[in-house]
Amino acid sequence: MGSVKIEHLNKQFNGNTALEDVNLEIQEGEFFALLGPSGCGKTTTMRCVAGFETPTSGSIFIGDRNVNQIPANQRNCGMVFQSYALFPHLNVFENVAYSLNIRRFYEGGFGTKLSTLAHLLNRRLGKVDRATEQKVRDALDFVELGHLADRLPGQLSGGQQQRVALARALVMEPAVLLMDEPLSNLDKKLRNVMRVTIRQIQQKVGITTIFVTHDQEEAMSMADRVAVMHGGRLVQVDTPTALYSNPANKFVADFVGSSNILNGTVKGVNDSGETLIEIGDNRFLRSTYPTNKKDVEVIIRPESIRLLTSEKAADDENILDGTIELSTYLGPTIRYDVKVGELRFEVDTVFEAGSPILPSGTRVKLQIDPNRVVAL
């Protein structure tokens, strides 16, 4: 069983809190991302699961088993790191075979220990018997590196090295795969390719995976569910779509995608049950988002705003008059910075070939769907 449960996990380093009451349940086969800025506790959470860090308090279960007292090498977790951590003097095949040999050493009887040690002394730890050779070949074929089995890591690209690291973790058939910023050393294009590769491999194997990243795009595009962390605490655990459309607070809204965040005052509820919010400058927005607060933070995604150039647009609370201050061409989209009185909005529109990019100074109207106005 590869499910993971974390209960009331706390971790302090020299009296400083790194994790505070972290509670998580990760389902078997789930691809789960831990997302947050540097220092928020992602790696510490993962290291506690792996057994490299001892919790100050709290419990960790892998399947039904409480693993608090179980050493790292018996937790059946596969690890993939940012740095690949391959042995430079062993070829690809030997690197993948390494962990199998180590297990053989620990689990084998005296004779096996002796023969594995002999390999070690000969610096031929990668050599395996026929029974395990097939496993290594299968793992390499799985990550499509069978043809490079004889290469040294230094003769591979970053993406290929990371696939070797993945094969080395998977060959052990772990219950849980733990990946700590595995794509951070790769350039953007390769990162995008590797996201798809890792996700496809994970789905094929069906292995429970915990993936640590500070890159929201990475987490959102790969994971079934994402836990957003901040200051050692879990802020929100949700599917990528729910995180994006219903952020629990300003931190999540800001960290996951870009947002227009305004201070608002709730003025009442109209006949349709919509909340009427004053956003300053005697301007109002209607929101279908229920709130019982008076002072709220209004969150609107840049792509939730329609930019109208027609003077004829009907007057409505949710149509604001503004002026374009800056137009930025981003390839598939155009980002407009629009001034509305003292307020500023970022608006994303889809770029259509042949249609003009509106220049600074253009008078526009911003139409905001009440369903897309989040009030927190």
State the residues that interact with ligand ATP by CB under 6 A. 13, 18, 36, 38-44, 214
If the CB atoms of residues 39 and 63 are measured against ligand ATP, the closer one turns out to be: 39
3 state DSSP class of 111: helix
Q: Smallest gap, in angstroms, from Cβ of residue 38 to ligand ATP?
A: 3
If the CB atoms of residues 44 and 162 are measured against ligand ATP, the closer one turns out to be: 44
If the CB atoms of residues 11 and 301 are measured against ligand ATP, the closer one turns out to be: 11
Helix H or strand E encompassing 183:
none
If the CB atoms of residues 38 and 122 are measured against ligand ATP, the closer one turns out to be: 38
Apex 52 CA angle, 88 and 47, nearest 5: 95
Sequence-ordered list of residues with C-beta below 8 angstroms from that of 292, at least 6 positions apart, any chain: none
3 state DSSP class of 49: helix
If the CB atoms of residues 60 and 373 are measured against ligand ATP, the closer one turns out to be: 60
CB 335 within 8 A of CB 348: yes
Phi, psi of 82 (to 5 degrees): -55, -40
Q: Smallest gap, in angstroms, from Cβ of residue 41 to ligand ATP?
A: 4
Q: In whole angstroms, what is the distance from residue 376 CA to residue 312 CA?
A: 32
Q: Smallest gap, in angstroms, from Cβ of residue 178 to ligand ATP?
A: 12
Q: Smallest gap, in angstroms, from Cβ of residue 63 to ligand ATP?
A: 24
Buried b (16+ CB within 10 A) or exposed e, 329-355: eeeeebbbbbebeebebbbbbeeeeee
Q: Smallest gap, in angstroms, from Cβ of residue 43 to ligand ATP?
A: 3
Q: Smallest gap, in angstroms, from Cβ of residue 9 to ligand ATP?
A: 12
If the CB atoms of residues 33 and 40 are measured against ligand ATP, the closer one turns out to be: 40
CB 144 within 8 A of CB 179: no
Q: In whole angstroms, what is the distance from residue 69 CA to residue 60 CA?
A: 10
Q: Smallest gap, in angstroms, from Cβ of residue 301 to ligand ATP?
A: 25
If the CB atoms of residues 163 and 214 are measured against ligand ATP, the closer one turns out to be: 214
Phi, psi of 330 (to 5 degrees): -115, 20
Sequence-ordered list of residues with C-beta below 8 angstroms from that of 90, at least 6 positions apart, any chain: 98, 125, 126, 152, 153
3 state DSSP class of 100: helix
Q: Smallest gap, in angstroms, from Cβ of residue 35 to ligand ATP?
A: 9
If the CB atoms of residues 42 and 163 are measured against ligand ATP, the closer one turns out to be: 42
